[in-house]
Amino acid sequence: MNPDNEPQARNEVQPENLNLWHAFLAQVNENQIYFGASQETLEYLRHPKRMVTVSVPARMDDGSVRFFTGYRVQHSISRGPAKGGLRYRAGLNLDEVRGLAAAMTIKCAVMNLPFGGAKGGIDVDPKTLSRSEIERMTRRYTSELVDLIGPDKDIPAPDTGTNEQIMAWIMDTYSQNKGSTVTGVVTGKPVAMGGSLGRVEAPGRGIAYSIFGVASREGISLEKASAAVQGFGMVGRYAALGLFERGVRVVAVSDSSGAIYAHDGLDIPRLLEYKTENGSVLGFHGAKRIDQESLLTLPVDVLVPAVREGAIHAGNAAKVEAQIIAEGANHAITRAADTILEREGRFIIPDYLANSGGVVVSYYEWVQDFNNFYWTEEEIRQNLEQHFTHALESVYALKLERGLNLRQAAFVLAVSRINESTNLRGLYP
């Protein structure tokens, strides 16, 4: 199966603790002096609403039955139904899932979407299974959660190791159990089954929109700028394309096979075709191979780490030369690296802003499914860019008012919105 992101290869040097749940709790604790939120709201953030672990038996092609461990965490529903991706990754654990679910709560609030945060997945390497084995595993996982998910409860979407075909199987399994077709139970599904045009490219294009939005507000000209994009999966490739289309010279990209560099810039549309035909960016005409780690420290204006958490860490942060760094992957910059980059005067666009294009267009898809009326691709792109403009306006207003950096401002804005809805709803009974 083709994942939304490149395989999660690990850095050799990662001294920090990358427990995603602990990282979220640390952000809550470190920023609470800025919140003005009630202690009850902060405790809600520290205590996910629901955490489910399920055994997922699936029949293999040889007739044997193999058991997998599945998860679904609904972190918050104070602003609406839970929303979040579904990942198939070997080594997936509960702390990773609840950390990502909490990040979705913040992301949805930053983008002012009527959702809370969720995340789920299965501890499995999908590359070790056949298509039919993945289908049977997916359908059983869905049946285990059929009473917990739904268009007004919890709406999964693709993430690492999953794709629109898996969303189609989930939608069909859920619909079979409910006795009618329910397109809105998932987003990121095929267009032929109620999916939205522009959903696949949305995470990457959102990164590009956020980069141009921050550059204009910080007085940074990108007219002759250069960029490097770590990762050329469904996120990185469309981030690179969005930058290329607006005149940024994308000089380096990487995928799981390696990294390439061209001083005068890569022809991204041609590279997309080459990658599709050859399965790798290596060997692209006019580009030379470089070390994957060195891509992060190239002398470029813009850097997009779009592969994995912890790509920029205490061991390499001081070597990063890019003026603008947009987190294309969740937690791509560790807390220690954040401090170093801030000290060096870099502009960091946090994951809560930069990579939220996917959930924004998932919201559009959800709305379209309810109405059975679908938008054009151009309408999706225009609305997405406008959504980023409004989000950046709100974040920057708070940044300037409080003297915060972008990560702090986004987090504080999100918590203020969550606090308002939590207080208005009250506690039942």
User: Which one of 304, 322, 354 terminates a domain?
Assistant: 354
pLDDT value of position 405: 94
**Within-domain flag for 380:** no
In this structure, the answer to whether residues 177 and 89 fall within a common structural domain is yes
**Within-domain flag for 387:** no
Q: In this structure, what are the phi and psi dihedrals at residue 118, rounded to the nearest 5 degrees? A: -150, 165
**Within-domain flag for 379:** no
Residues 115, 83 contacting (CB under 8 angstroms): yes
CATH of the domain at 99: 3.40.50.10860
**Within-domain flag for 191:** no
Provide the residue type at 345 as one letter.
G
Q: Which domain holds residue 108?
A: 48-182
Reading the block at residue 110, the tokens are 């930053």
In this structure, the answer to whether residues 162 and 283 fall within a common structural domain is no
**Within-domain flag for 2:** no
**Within-domain flag for 332:** yes
In this structure, the answer to whether residues 162 and 268 fall within a common structural domain is no
**Model pTM above 0.85:** yes
For the chain, list residues with pLDDT below 50: 1-15
Active-site choice (107, 119, 189, 275) = 119
Q: Which of 70, 98, 95, 68 has its CA nearest to residue 84?
A: 98
CATH of the domain at 321: 3.40.50.720
Burial class (CB in 10 A: 0-12, 13-18, 19+), 235: buried
Domain count within the chain: 2
Cross-strand bridge partners of residue 347: 324
- Length of the chain as a residue count: 429
pLDDT tens for residues 281-314?
999 999 999 999 999 999 999 999 999 889 999 9
pLDDT value of position 239: 97
User: Which one of 316, 332, 354 terminates a domain?
Assistant: 354
**Within-domain flag for 168:** yes
In this structure, the answer to whether residues 211 and 96 fall within a common structural domain is no
CA distance 109 to 105: 6
CB atoms within 10 A of CB 51: 15
In this structure, the answer to whether residues 240 and 160 fall within a common structural domain is no
pLDDT value of position 10: 35
pLDDT value of position 115: 98
pLDDT value of position 3: 35
**Within-domain flag for 308:** yes
Does the annotation mark 178 as catalytic?
no
In this structure, the answer to whether residues 209 and 344 fall within a common structural domain is yes
pLDDT value of position 16: 52
User: Which one of 321, 354, 387 terminates a domain?
Assistant: 354
